[in-house]
Chain A
């Protein structure tokens, strides 16, 4: 099993993501360079957090035209598991692989803290190791994490069980529509989320609530129902 983590210029969670894969999944974790249109036979791909291209134009807007993104798109369209975390979520939205977009936090502040998330739909391959309604503690660290989409899209996400995670509490940390923290695509193989599960895989760092996400893709690949 080979798991690829894409490094864009300005990615800064790529090492954390690689480390989390190595800690949680029995397999090989490799870096993929944004400028190379080659997934090197990866069985699953992570787009990590950071500030690709300095967030120039819009967060994720430049990264999504990187050579590797054409390969990621083809892989995703063929049912390959793809997860975008934080900046990776922004890139997936910019690429049109997930609906909606992420704009500046309502507070205008960079939000960096631990938050409580509620697990919503668990039908997708990424969510299979969570229980619906389960409460997780996972860190966030973003300035542009306010999820927006038109009402029809939001309704469809809810009715088709594609909201993966929601922020808990009275107000979301960034003003996201319907407190949405993470969503999946229609086929369930592409996940985007603003919180950082790769920073929640070690009890020493305060939480292991991110582990099931990595184990879920491992189970999926082991079951041979991947590509």
Chain B
């Protein structure tokens, strides 16, 4: 699960990182966001089942729906 600050919500960490990259001479940078990556091993009947459960985990705990968006990747 990849959790990132919701689009349009203030992301002070992303802004600070953008500034730091700029001061190292990396140019042309915009829209820097800092999020978190959560990996887990899950025993599931199918990929769809795994995805559904991962989504529920994100909605209920791993991401805050007010401030964050999430993406799920399933590998078996």
Contact = CB atoms under 8 A, between A and B. Distances in A.
B56 to A, nearest CB: 14
B21 interface: no
Contacts of A100: 66
B64 A58 contact: yes
Contacts of B13: 104, 108
Contacts of B66: 93, 99-101, 148-150
Contact of A65 (B9, B12, B61, B67): B61
B7 to A, nearest CB: 12
Interface residues of A, number: 20
Contact of A104 (B12, B61, B64): B12
A100 B12 CA distance: 18
A12 to B, nearest CB: 23
Contacts, number: 38
A115 B61 CA distance: 32
The B interface is mostly helix, strand or loop, or mixed, namely mixed
A103 B67 CA distance: 8
Interface in B11-27: 12-13, 16
Contact of B10 (A58, A94, A106, A150): A106
20 contacts: A57-B61, A57-B62, A58-B64, A61-B64, A65-B61, A93-B66, A99-B66, A100-B66, A103-B5, A103-B9, A103-B12, A104-B12, A106-B10, A108-B12, A108-B13, A146-B10, A148-B66, A149-B66, A175-B10, A175-B12
Interface of B: 5, 9-10, 12-13, 16, 61-62, 64, 66-67
Given A61-B61, A148-B67, 16 more contacts: A57-B62, A58-B64, A58-B67, A61-B64, A99-B66, A100-B66, A101-B64, A101-B66, A103-B10, A103-B67, A104-B12, A105-B12, A106-B12, A108-B16, A150-B66, A175-B12
